[in-house]
Structure 1
Amino acid sequence: MNIANFNGDKIFGDKIMTKVILESDFSKEIRILLATGQVLKEHKSKFPIVIHVVDGAIDLGVEKVTHKLNKGGIIALKANVHHDLSALKDSVIRLTLSKSDSVDRVNAVAKDSAK
């Protein structure tokens, strides 16, 4: 059994913050902190993902169509779907990755987006 909390040690800063909150036998639960105005550039995953807005609000671009997701909003994307995120206000994002996916890939997208 694993127990975690997405709301602990939240610090919004000048860069996008990512943290592995919990790993299970089948997934990795990543917390992404996006301060107002921060953007995760367009990218894709080789595996299906789930994006859940725990707090805040984002514009989620999915293959060039923008969807506004408010607190509680959740979306599942198939593998290889291009998407981007833009924070409309300070936002806590839960990203569910396949166990086969790489946290380093997520960190690289966040780092590249800060340029």
Structure 2
Amino acid sequence: MMDKPYILFENLTSLTPTVPANSILSRTLLQHPRLKVTLFAFGAGQELSEHTASMPAVIHILEGECDLRLGKDVYTLRDGAWVFMEAHTPHALLAHTDLRMLLLMLPE
């Protein structure tokens, strides 16, 4: 339960001070009926195999470099990259360096 009508994170990357080697860390920052926000930290070389989400989603790369496959297209993304995906868009990710990203899921 929130004691204020807002949530403020002054520095998202400080919530994962170290990126775990050879693994993926996720922290749910907000679970709301209209928005779920998850912070991810990927060790270099970690990947998410191709999958889809049942709802629209946004990926925001905070730090690092990765390849993001969207359908048949592959993009190398770096700090500051931002992607909106419609529901059921096939996607996969491979972290080239330690990577921090924010995932926003938008229930319809």
TM-score bracket for the superposition, by shorter chain length: 0.7 to 0.9
Match of residue 8 from structure 1: 14
Q: Please state whether the residue corresponding to 2:8 is helix, strand or coil.
A: coil
TM-score normalised according to structure 1 size? 0.79
Distance, in Å, in 2 between the alignment partners of 1:99 and 1:62 is: 20
Return structure 1 stretches of 4+ with deviation > 2 angstroms. 22-26
TM-score normalised according to structure 2 size? 0.83
Residue pair 2:29, 2:39 contacting (<8 A) in 1 also: yes
Count matched residues: 100
The runs of 5 or more residues in structure 1 that have no matched partner are 101-115
Q: 1:3 to 1:24 in 2, by over 3 A?
A: farther
Hey, which of these two has a bigger chunk of helix by percent?
1
Residues 99-110 of structure 1: matches in 2 within 5 Å?
99=107
Residue pair 1:3, 1:22 contacting (<8 A) in 2 also: no
Match of residue 30 from structure 2: 22
Structure 1 letter corresponding to 2:19: F
Q: 2:103 aligns with which of 95, 100, 112?
A: 95
Match of residue 107 from structure 1: none
% identical equivalent positions:
25
RMSD: 1.6
For residues 40-85 of structure 1, what are the alpha-carbon distances to aligned partners after superposition, in whole Å with 9 as ceiling and x for unaligned? 1111001000000011111000112211111000000000010001
Match of residue 47 from structure 1: 55
